[in-house]
Amino acid sequence: MSTAVKTRIGVAGYGFIGRHLCRSIQDNPAWGLELAFVWNRDAGKLSALPEGLALPDLSRAADRSADLIVECAHPQVTVEHGAAFLRASDYLPLSVNALADADVEARLVAAARAGGHRILIPHGALIGLDNLVEVRDMWEDVTITFRKNPANIDFSESGIDPAGIEGETVVYDGPVRGIARLFPRNVNTMTTCALATVGLDLCRAVLVADPALDVAIAEVRARGKDGSLHESRKVQPVVGVSGTEMLAAQLSSVLRAAGVFQPGLNYV
């Protein structure tokens, strides 16, 4: 029996992503991870978990001695508990849009620095995040554009009636900070792009609703002060509001955050 110390993972949210993450950790002991706790707003959905894993109250997360807490529920979890998480552990919020609130971002950064812990931002659907971050001070302007079928956009916070969209329509064109409030379930990757480059007030977001599309398209154009140009275009089948690669991308971010490296080729 291995006596190696395992990295303890707390999971806040047991929906589609949270269940996938928990199953993956439980099914892959070679990763050296173990669940510290699982929380869900509807605690009844946790009844099938091993005894003692369910956490009734997120304010008691520190009691479970997690090394890393992963949020996969709702941005409000970060608003209410993110700073407390960071006083005790590293924190990976998958609902990155919570950081579009400048006060929340400042509070989290202060807590992380005071506690000596990390706020970890997942790459999501963003191609070339490492390259964008490496030269972040060089970017002059950055635009990120999403093109989706209206059926794959959550309009519930926007005040827009999608029934009136009959052709290709720009439903938002402006700073990322603004779109994060109007379409919080759709634009986590836009927030990630803004945080990695010129900031949420300078990074331009464009959201195009097109009933003719049966895929999701993400495009990034970053122009450097030295004349350099970074351009990417990703076309992905879509389920709900997310691309079909979403589960793999989120799990990959969690594994890197937890320091899991597989034998053989690794990419850094």
SS3 sequence, 149-193?
Answer: CHHHCCCCCCCCCHHHCCCCEEEEEEEHHHHHHHCCCCCHHHHHH
pLDDT at 1 over 50: no
Does a structural domain hold residue 148? yes
Residue 118 corresponds to which amino acid? Answer: R
| Residue 242 backbone zone (phi > 0: left; psi -120 to 50: alpha; other: beta) | beta
Residue 228 tokens read as: 């350099």
pLDDT, one tens digit per residue, over 54-90 is: 999 999 999 999 999 999 999 999 999 999 999 999 9
Does a structural domain hold residue 2? no
Give the predicted TM-score (pTM) of the model. 0.92
Average model confidence (pLDDT) across the chain: 93
Q: Give CA–CA dist 86/119, Å, rounded.
A: 8
Q: Give CA–CA dist 171/179, Å, rounded.
A: 10
**Is residue 78 domain-shared with residue 152, that is, in the same domain?**
no
pLDDT at 123 over 80: yes
pLDDT, one tens digit per residue, over 158-182 is: 999 999 999 999 999 999 999 999 9
Does a structural domain hold residue 68? yes
Domain of residue 133, residue span: 129-242
**Is residue 172 domain-shared with residue 112, that is, in the same domain?**
no
Does a structural domain hold residue 65? yes
Q: How many domains does the chain have?
A: 2
**Is residue 136 domain-shared with residue 189, that is, in the same domain?**
yes
**Is residue 135 domain-shared with residue 237, that is, in the same domain?**
yes
Residue 123 has phi, psi (to 5 degrees) of -75, -25
Alpha helices in 28-168 (DSSP H): 75-88, 102-115, 129-134
Does a structural domain hold residue 37? yes
Q: Give CA–CA dist 188/183, Å, rounded.
A: 9
Does a structural domain hold residue 267? no
CATH number at residue 29: 3.40.50.720
Q: Give CA–CA dist 195/98, Å, rounded.
A: 12
